[in-house]
Amino acid sequence: VMLSNSSAPRSLCRLQVSPDVLLEKVGRAGVITMNRPKVLNALNLTMIRQIYPQLKTWEQDSETDIVIIKGAGGKAFCAGGDIRAVMEAGKAGDSLTQDFFCDEYILNNAIGSYKKPYIALIDGITMGGGVGLSVHGRFRVATEKTLFAMPETGIGLFPDVGGGYFLPRLRGKLGLFLALTGFRLKGRDVQRAGVATHFVESQKIPDLEKELVDLKSPSAKDVSIVLDTYQKQSSLDSEKPFVLDRHMSDIDRLFSSSSVEGIMQNLKDDDSEFAKKQAETLSKMSPTSLKITYKQLQTGASLNLQDVLIMEYRLSQASVISCMFLVLVDKDQNPKWSPSTLEEVSDQSVDQCFSSLGDKDLTF
């Protein structure tokens, strides 16, 4: 399941035809701009199939030193994959349900193993698929406008795009907490959590981008120095503590359990306001999603990114596809999950979602 170059635009002239994503050479930098501001730069298959071959070309091109990826419109970097289109296709038995996840994960892996400095300017909403386009890259620059979340358990999905790789590698049980609850991190907290590598004030981003583009044959260290300099000049909110600072020891304690039921019990047994709030949040999530996500992160903690993406592709094709539809269509946001309780989701049904697809498994 390799992406073929035939799906790529042949020349820069062709790029004007599909403005969903702009691919430009600026000096010695390749610049990718997600260009669907009306839908918060949601990622679709067309965009994926244009970005991937261009990334590969730039990686081999001696005239290209770095890659910068950003979102147009000032509100979002990328608010996620265009899941509704994928779900409609699933209903119709269309191959988009395979193609989208397959090609998206191949792109995530290409970013994770990219040989040149890859800089994601996550200046705005960054969720789901947008996280996949940024978090595996060498540099991720957050601003005060950044809003990060992996909200998938609330829509019957799981935090894919390599979530099984980067989430368990955050400190303590923070990744599991973010994955299960969909908790939103804002601004400087995105860097403090370890999701971003740097924090730079939004108004400084155009100058930062210009400086990066003007670098002469930069190494990763050269890029790092520029980003560090801009970060030092960005004092906004620096005096505020990390939003989860006072809860970190609670998170580590409450989310340490050998099962999701155990975590729920920990939360219910705890008298704190924080624990009550998390129990309430988890009770609204898809029980199947919670159990799949728990196992995904537990397994992914000891796998490399490629193997995590192979695992997540299996999950994307499994029962999750059938159980996610509900809330995407329900406007009232009161999903009726089936099964409706954690106890009803058997270990066997969860394990089944992780089983090999044989010759339909994801390959790189």
pLDDT tens-digit map of 190-236 = 999 999 999 999 999 999 999 999 999 999 999 999 999 999 999 99
21-236+243-360 — its CATH code?
A: 3.90.226.10
pTM higher than 0.95 for the full model?
no
Active site residue 300: no
pLDDT of residue 329: 52
pLDDT of residue 325: 47
Residues 332, 164, 149, 364: what is their CA dihedral angle, to the nearest 10 degrees?
A: -90
Q: Which of 65, 82, 103, 152 is catalytic?
A: 152
Residue 14 has pLDDT above 60, yes or no: no
The whole-number average pLDDT for the span 46-59 is: 97
Residue 130 has pLDDT above 60, yes or no: yes
**Per-chain mean pLDDT for the chain:** 91
pLDDT of residue 279: 98
Q: Which of 160, 201, 209, 312 is catalytic?
A: 160
Active site residue 129: yes
Predicted confidence band at 15 (pLDDT cuts at 50, 70, 90)?
very low
DSSP 77: E
pLDDT tens-digit map of 256-305 = 999 999 999 999 999 999 999 999 999 999 999 999 999 999 999 999 99
pLDDT tens-digit map of 135-170 = 999 999 999 999 999 999 998 889 999 999 999 999
Judge whether 158 and 292 are in contact, CB under 8 Å.
Answer: yes
The pLDDT > 70 percentage for the chain reads 91
Active site residue 160: yes
Q: Which of 30, 71, 129, 182 is catalytic?
A: 129
H-assigned helices in the chain: 45-60, 83-92, 96-112, 129-132, 163-166, 174-181, 188-192, 205-214, 220-232, 248-254, 260-269, 273-284, 287-300, 305-317, 319-323, 325-329, 347-353
Active site residue 81: yes
pLDDT of residue 94: 77
- Residues 265 and 279: their CA atoms lie apart, in Å, by 9
Q: Which helix (H) or strand (E) holds 112?
A: helix 96-112
**Domain residue ranges of the chain, discontinuous segments joined by +:** 21-236+243-360
